[in-house]
Structure 1
Amino acid sequence: MNKMKKEDREQVIAAIQEYFELERGEQLGSIAAEQLLDFFMKELGPFMYNQGIRDAKGLVEEKVMNLDEDILALERPVGRNFYR
């Protein structure tokens, strides 16, 4: 599950190392930080991915509802009201 761009992965590893240094007063090597990242991606990745899917689904449903309302607003009255 190593689907991050190399630059992004390096940035996250650096952030993990910085977090451990600032918040815990511990120095974490790059290999340990990379292993921690792999663990979190494996364990938390599916939850985050699924939430992203649910968020996207909600946005699409909202857009479709708005589109449906916009299309219905284009309807013209039917009947013999053209003399009024």
Structure 2
Amino acid sequence: MSMELDKDTHKAALDSLEKYLRDELDLPVGNLEIAGLLTFFVQEIGPSLYNKGVREAQARMQARVADIDMEVYEDEFGYWKKSPRRR
């Protein structure tokens, strides 16, 4: 699976990365270098973050499926239990 950002997210990430490098690290870096660095991060770290999100979603779904028995369970043969007068 190819890890890519949509156009707006890519632009926002470039702007944020440039600001971080400039303001926090005092590194004046050009657009080409920033784009390359972002591509590296997305391709190198992106799959790890994606896989973590998938694992967390699976765990949540499995927990919900496990709870479904309690939510939809109905006692069987309850007619006689509801009325003490009936025999």
| TM-score in same-fold range (> 0.5) | yes
Number of matched pairs: 82
1:68 Cα offset (Å): 2.3
Report the counterpart of residue 81 of structure 2 in structure 1.
81
Summarize deviations over 1:1-36 as a string: whole Å, max 9, x none.
Answer: 452111110100110100001111111111111100
Give the percent of matched residue pairs that are identical in Structure 1 and Structure 2: 24
Report the counterpart of residue 28 of structure 2 in structure 1.
27
1:69 Cα offset (Å): 1.4
Uncovered stretches (5+) of structure 2, i.e. residues with no partner: none
- 1:78 counterpart SS class: coil
Report the counterpart of residue 16 of structure 2 in structure 1.
15
Tell me how large the CA RMSD over aligned residues is: 1.7
| Deviation >6 Å, runs of 4+ | none
> Bigger radius of gyration, 1 or 2?
2
Uncovered stretches (5+) of structure 1, i.e. residues with no partner: none
Q: Which has the higher helix share?
A: 1
Report the counterpart of residue 67 of structure 2 in structure 1.
66
- Amino acid of the residue matched to residue 83 of structure 1? S
